[in-house]
Structure 1
Amino acid sequence: MSFGQGGPSWGPGDSRTPDWAALAEASEARGRRRKWLLIGGGALATAAVAAIVATAVITTSGKGGTSGSDKNASELPAPEDLPPESAAPQPSFSSVAPPPPPDPKDFIADEKKDRAPVTVDAFFPGRRLTMGDRVYAKGATARTTDCAATTQGALGSILAAHGCDQVIRATYSRSGVAVTVGVAVFATEAQAGKAARQASGGLASLSGSGVPTFCRGGSVCRRTANSYGRYAYFTVGGFTSGKNVTTADKNVYAVGDDLTDFTFRQIRHRGEVQASAAAAPVT
């Protein structure tokens, strides 16, 4: 016998005794149905809330401009427009090559560019000269525009013929050997070069300031002639005792070579200083 859907169920033989097992099973089934209904309803509610929030976000993004994380996806740069991840600042170099530095010799090749003072101290500074382990005492010095007066033999007329402007002389001595070096100044490099190549006779020695007369009265001395830029430079060297110089007298040659080398360096340094000043930026 049955009371219909949801009613009690009686057991076999209709003895009016409830079928307790069947009742328990039916109650459990109803509990499971209520549980699933509650779960399903919660899921639907959550989905509805998410849909409402999404709609609000989209609606807000579409109004009144964009900024920060509210930008529309359509306004973001395309992947191909973005720089590579490894992109970093790269060095940039001018395609225009800087001008070459001035040539120091240009500043001593012509009087128009060689504007540094022409003085004794400009070429022969200090009281002594040190070359390596050799120290030379500085003797008398002189500067004159009478170029021929500083020479012996034909050198005076040669200097005059090529337009010598002035001659600066200085004498150095060491261990009984004295050398006078003279710098003849010309307007151009070409004039100085011709005077040095055509040199005959020689420079007159300069005594005084502790150095006795030397290389005069017919004694044999060593003479040299060179040029650099608009300067021709000459030396005359020998023994202060008046002894003749021979090729075996290496000490005389050594002193003369030191003075020649020093004078060349002084002239070249003159050009380097002026070239450096010309290359310096204007402030």
Structure 2
Amino acid sequence: MSYGGPQWPQEPRRQSDQSGSFDAFEPLESYRQRDQQSQSPDWAALADASAARTRRRKWLLMGGGALATAAIATVVATAVVSSGEGGTEGSGKTASELPTAPDLPGEKGAEPSFSSVAPPPPPNPKEFISDERKDTAPLSADTLFPGKKLTMGDRVYTKGPTARTTSCASATQGSLGAALTGNGCDQVIRATYTRDGVAVTIGVAVFPTEAKAQTAVKKSARNIAPLSGSGVGGFCKGGPVCRFVGNSYGRYAYFTSTGYLNGKSVTKGDRKAFQPGDDLAEFTFRQIVARGEQQAEAAAAR
């Protein structure tokens, strides 16, 4: 497609000679065509001008929008600062009175603080069984030796008679009585267990303090008196050799007397007689330890 009218056919223009004259004339139609071409508009320039005007309008629109946005933001900020609780003029807050970050809705408060002081350690169970002022839980033959049987491993012992006395010396033989009373013994609790013809009496003496119990064990022959009855015949009386052992934990001293029900003497290394005495001593120790743990747990829960 062409612009500025029809394109007329034109003969080639002859070259002039050196004198400046033409050897031939140019047809009239060629002048007419040149005149029409010289009068046609410059369409490329017009297109550039139109594009420039479009760009100027676009920049004016963008600049005006930015100015309008800034003006709206300024109006909103002014309204927030100048608005008061009652909505009247002069009641607005100053910049220093605006809410701080912790006061704004949805903002998290200060992080929780933790004390640098370590919590107190839990109570020591042994403290409760080492002093009569703390050791206040009920104490009896049933609490120390519950049930009718005692199982240690694969060995089962039958419980026989039990006894409790505040006359500590009456539950002893030999020098043990004087050692108990001399150190403030409060009471003696005994129980007898049997298995395969062997009888064991376990006796627990209670003292005011741990030191008193330790002294009583060291300064005695440790002879707790055997306890018979309730189907258990006498043993360790009238001459047979028996085994007597004693120890202490906290304010409790515990002793065992082990012998044969048929009057046979216990010999050195007699495993059949030694095992029952060791089992009863171990069980009693565990009961005393458990007593301290139960009282410590109760104190920690308060």
Q: Does 1:228 align with 2:228?
A: no
Shift of 1:32: 1.9
CA distance 1:34–1:223, change in 2 (3 Å): same
Shift of 1:216: 1.1
For 1:56, the aligned partner's letter is: A
Shift of 1:154: 2.0
Determine which of 110, 117, 131 is the counterpart of 2:152.
131
Quote the residue 2:116 is aligned against. Answer: 95
Does 146-155 or 238-247 show the bigger shift?
A: 146-155
For 1:194, the aligned partner's letter is: T
Shift of 1:94: 4.3
1:42-91 deviations in whole A, cap 9, x for unaligned?
11111111111111112222223189xxxxxxxxxxxxxxxxxxxxxx99
For 1:35, the aligned partner's letter is: A
Does 249-258 or 12-21 show the bigger shift?
A: 12-21
For 1:50, the aligned partner's letter is: M
Quote the residue 2:130 is aligned against. Answer: 109
Contact 1:171 1:180 in 2 (8 A): yes
1-side partners of 2:128 and 2:67: how far apart?
A: 84
Determine which of 188, 193, 198 is the counterpart of 2:219.
198
Shift of 1:40: 1.2
For 2:254, the aligned partner's letter is: Y
1:110-167 deviations in whole A, cap 9, x for unaligned?
1000010111111111111111111111111111111111111221122111111111
Shift of 1:33: 2.2
Q: Does 1:178 align with 2:199?
A: yes
Quote the residue 2:82 is aligned against. Answer: none
The residue correspondences of 1:12-91 to structure 2 (distance < 5 A) are 13=25, 15-17=27-29, 18-20=31-33, 23-24=36-37, 27=40, 30-65=42-77
RMSD: 2.5
Contact 1:199 1:225 in 2 (8 A): no
Contact 2:222 2:255 in 1 (8 A): no
Quote the residue 2:263 is aligned against. Answer: 242
2-side partners of 1:237 and 1:55: how far apart?
A: 108
Contact 1:162 1:191 in 2 (8 A): yes
Contact 2:222 2:245 in 1 (8 A): no
Q: Percent identity, aligned pairs only?
A: 52
- Using structure 1 for the length normalisation, give the TM-score: 0.81
2-side partners of 1:66 and 1:237: how far apart?
A: 100
